[in-house]
Structure 1
Amino acid sequence: MRDQPVKRYLRDALAPLLLTLVVAALMMHFGPSLGAPGKVAFLVVLMSCYGWCGWVEFRHLRMCDELRRRLALEALMQAFIAAFGIFLVLLFAHALKLLTVSIDVAPLVMIGCYAVCEIGARLRYRYWALL
């Protein structure tokens, strides 16, 4: 079946993604009232969940054909370059007191850059499969 890799990827990615979201929500709720060891424990668990998500993505990319792999890697690299550039501009603008920037915009910038780069890569190759 052609959708088998997609189903496996979604099945494998569901647990680490949900665990990451739950840990992040718990950390935002309980984190400020904890001491330093509790905060460090939350960060270690959160980064472990993030690493697990990355490993699932890496395994999925290794199983993809060349075109899907090229699309994903091209979009990831362009998104990294764009997000890093935007972060630098915001950091320097904040340091020069040109504007006040909250760290809360970081996930939105990263997701936005990835979405734009993913759509751009798929438009360039005219490839609209789900994954």
Structure 2
Amino acid sequence: MHKLFKRYARAIWLPATVLLAVVVAFGLLQRHLPPAGKVIGVAVLMVCYCWVGWAEFRHLQGMDEMRRRIEMEAMVLAFIASVGVTLAMFFVNALKLARVPFDVVPGVLIGCYVLAELWARLRYRYWSL
């Protein structure tokens, strides 16, 4: 396995696994929780998300300039695309052109990020982490 991929996997596996476990547990249990339990669940979910973000940020700081440039381009493109798509979904829903359920928004945001990463990697023909 590639040295950089091993370093990335070592940095991200625990926060990502805990986040995934919390998302699944919260998704299964949230109907049975009282309002205070739901607030605590959301707080735990956000703490786990921040942990994953911090691990990603630390990984970004350890990259060389080329990898950092690719990652930053992908993040900016993902931000622009996700805000645009979210605005479009909001107005489509607000103008009653179609019903857009709020549940699709996280998937759309993640999709924007994945497509932006692929675009940046294809643009530079650079596939290393």
TM-score bucket (shorter structure): over 0.9
What amino acid is the match of 1:22?
A
TM-score w.r.t. the length of structure 2 is 0.93
Pick 1 or 2: higher relative contact order, CA cutoff 8 A, min separation 6.
Answer: 2
- Residue segments in structure 1 that go unaligned for 5+ positions in a row: none
Structure 1 segments (4+ residues) deviating >4 Å: none
CA distance in 2, matches of 1:30, 1:122: 39
Q: Which runs of 5+ in 2 are unaligned?
A: none
- Compute the displacement of 1:27 (Å): 1.0
Shift of 1:107: 2.2
Q: Cα deviation per residue 1:45-100 (whole Å; 9 max; x = unaligned)?
A: 10000000000000001000000001011101110110111011101110111110
TM-score by length of 1: 0.92
**Corresponding residue for 1:50?**
49
**1:59-74 counterparts in 2 under 5 A?**
59-74=58-73
Of 68-77 and 113-122, the range deviating more from structure 2 = 113-122
Deviations 1:15-67 (A, max 9, x none): 11111111111111111221111001111110000000000000001000000
> What secondary structure does 2:96 align onto?
coil
Calculate percent identity across the aligned residue pairs.
47
Counterpart residue number, 1:93: 92
